[in-house]
Amino acid sequence: MTVAPAGARTLAVPGDIPALDRLLNDAVFAALLAAYGRTEVTAALRGALDALRARVVDGGVPIAQAGAPAIAADVAAALDARHRRALRRVFNLSGTVLHTNLGRATLPQAAIDALVDAAAAPVNLEFDLGSGARGDRDRVVEALLCELTGAEAATVVNNNAAAVLLVLAALANRREVIVSRGELVEIGGSFRIPDVMRTAGARLREVGTTNRTHAADYADAIGLRTAALMKVHTSNYVVSGFTASVGAAALAAIAHASGLPLIVDLGSGSLVDLGDFGLPREPVVRDVLAAGADLVTFSGDKLLGGPQAGLVVGRAALVQRIKRHPLKRALRVGKLTLAALEPVLALYRAPERLAARLPTLRALTRAAAAIEAQALRLAPALRDVLGERCEVTVVAMESQIGSGALPTATLASHGFAIRMQRRGGGLDRLDAALRALPRAVVGRIADRTLWLDLRCLDESDEAAFVAQLARLSP
């Protein structure tokens, strides 16, 4: 059979596809070889050629797609996808500031710089530079935590659930811990306080009812097997109406009268009075310790605004028992967590400057008027890209804090309400296209509307946000 000259055909035939070795020596592959190495480029090229041959056999492949430039473009795309990091930056326009699925708190620049320094070289993680002897990694942040909370001692583990687990395992294994029935919380992922206690080897002793627990309920439950009283801050829900609970000071008095410690799990935890920043007040760690709590546990990556960590602060003797428990080594944090946590804690030494320096607090305290002005600035660019297929409206919104912190509190905000001009006209596709951008845009769909809340869009990121919108063009 005679094959017509390439110039007379528009569709490729198998003979048009160059051999692998010839392609690898083609100048169009030089940059790929330099960037990825011969092994990876060869493997990607082999896959691209196999796919191209199959398409050519099926027919319908333009002859230009069988040439070296087109094949190199396919290989480049495949290698780029292969090397794209699984953990990528996103624009959080979901309306939830501390979004668990999006990594919760954004770190301040001081913490980012410290992370880079610790990652790039050996550090004195467990080495005392003064004595030349082995040290304790908790000392990186322990003094700061004690200064900021009034505690005698402190330790750090992976997250707050780990902190609670470790405290109970160290202090209450095979013994009872008294907790109000109204405080048996469930956190994200269906992890429950009773399950954590069971895993720690502690026996739960429930007292009171879902909505009302009194001091006498705790006192009457104390027995020979009691190891501690525990109060759990219901940070991710609110019980209202006909309710009663016992505060930390009263519980501490009951516990101490029987020679028992009071453990308080604050969940999110706060080192400052959020009321000073115009936000709803949360229990402050220093105040809870001052009220008589012997140990307090809380998170590092929620209201504190730092990296994921579980912090335990309180009486030195109890903290030392906790640090000697075998689980401490299993749950301890590495140098990167400690490197980030130290500068975040240091920012709290100047609370009057926190709103400007701590990204979490800055996002939580942004004025609604400033967010509205930002939305009005960015709306024309979004409308230009989406054109007539969508209606883009600047609207008032209510942001939430997230991650179980202040569950009923909302923050006045603004953003975009995007509706398709035709019913069933692809709102899900638009949402997917936004998530497919180089820096994914994460919003939320409700009531046949795509909502993009701008509370977490820092003004310094506006140019980057607008620049990639052109990729949404039909």
- CATH number for the domain including 431? 3.90.1150.180
Q: Collapse the DSSP code of 414 into the 3-class scheme (helix H, G, I; strand E, B; otherwise coil) and give the result.
A: strand
The answer to whether residue 60 sits within a structural domain is yes
pLDDT digits (tens, 9 = 90+) for 311-358: 999 999 999 999 999 999 999 999 999 999 999 999 999 999 999 999
Q: What is the pLDDT of residue 465?
A: 97
Model confidence at 10, pLDDT cuts 50, 70, 90, reads confident
In this structure, the answer to whether residues 178 and 145 fall within a common structural domain is yes
* Local structure of 28: helix, strand or coil: helix
What CATH number is given to the structural domain containing 124? Answer: 3.40.640.10
* 73 and 205 housed in the same domain: no
Based on the domain organization, do 10 and 94 belong to the same domain?
no
**Is residue 301 very low, low, confident or very high in pLDDT (cuts 50, 70, 90)?**
very high
Tokens representing residue 415 in the block? 């953003």
Give the pLDDT confidence score for residue 1 in this predicted structure. 40
Q: What is the pLDDT of residue 210?
A: 84
Residues 272 and 151 in one domain: yes
User: Are 244 and 141 found together in one domain?
Assistant: yes
Tell me the mean pLDDT in the region 375-402: 94
Q: What percent of the chain has pLDDT over 70?
A: 94
Q: What is the pLDDT at residue 421?
A: 83
* pLDDT band at residue 8 using 50, 70 and 90 as cut-offs: low
H helix or E strand, kind and range, residue 319? helix 316-324
In a domain, 216, yes or no: yes
Q: Looking at the domain assignment, is residue 398 inside a domain?
A: yes
β-strand partners of 397: 413
Task: Decide if 264 contacts 248 (C-beta within 8 A).
Answer: yes
- Does a structural domain hold residue 1? no
Question: What is the per-residue pLDDT across 183-198, written as a single tens digit (0 to 9) for each?
Answer: 888 766 567 888 999 9
pLDDT digits (tens, 9 = 90+) for 143-185: 999 999 999 999 999 999 999 999 999 999 999 999 999 988 8
Kindly state whether residues 344 and 377 are assigned to the same domain: no
Mean predicted lDDT score pLDDT of the chain: 93
Two structure tokens written together for 171 = 């202090």
Q: What is the spatial distance between Cα 393 and Cα 374, in angstroms, rounded to a whole number?
A: 13
Picking from 312, 329, 357, the residue at the C-terminal end of a domain is: 357
pLDDT in tens, 135-150: 999 999 999 999 999 9
Is residue 304 located within the same domain as residue 416? no
Which residue matches tokens 């959080």? Answer: 92
Q: Please give the residue range of the domain that contains residue 444.
A: 90-99+363-472
Report whether pLDDT(86) > 50.
yes
Task: Let me know whether 281 and 401 are in one domain.
Answer: no
pLDDT category of residue 2 using cuts at 50, 70 and 90: very low
Judge if 228 and 94 occupy the same domain: no
Q: Note whether 341 and 418 are same-domain residues.
A: no
Do the domain assignments include residue 313? yes
Q: Are 417 and 443 in contact (CB under 8 A)?
A: no
202 inside domain: yes
How many domains would you assign to the chain?
A: 3
CB of 99 within 8 A of CB of 93? no
Output the pLDDT for position 124: 97
Residue 245: name the closest of 259, 232, 258, 263 by CA.
232
Joined tokens for residue 208: 């009171």
| Contact in structure between 436 and 407 (CB atoms under 8 Å) | no
Residue 9: is its pLDDT beyond 80? no
- Domain assignment present for residue 131? The answer is yes
**Structure confidence by residue, pLDDT tens digits, 37-53:** 999 999 999 999 999 99
Contacts of 227 (CB under 8 A, 6+ apart): 171, 172, 175, 176, 177, 202, 260
Q: Do 193 and 340 share a domain, yes or no?
A: yes
Using 50, 70 and 90 to split pLDDT, how confident is the model at 406? low
- 73 and 135 share a domain? no
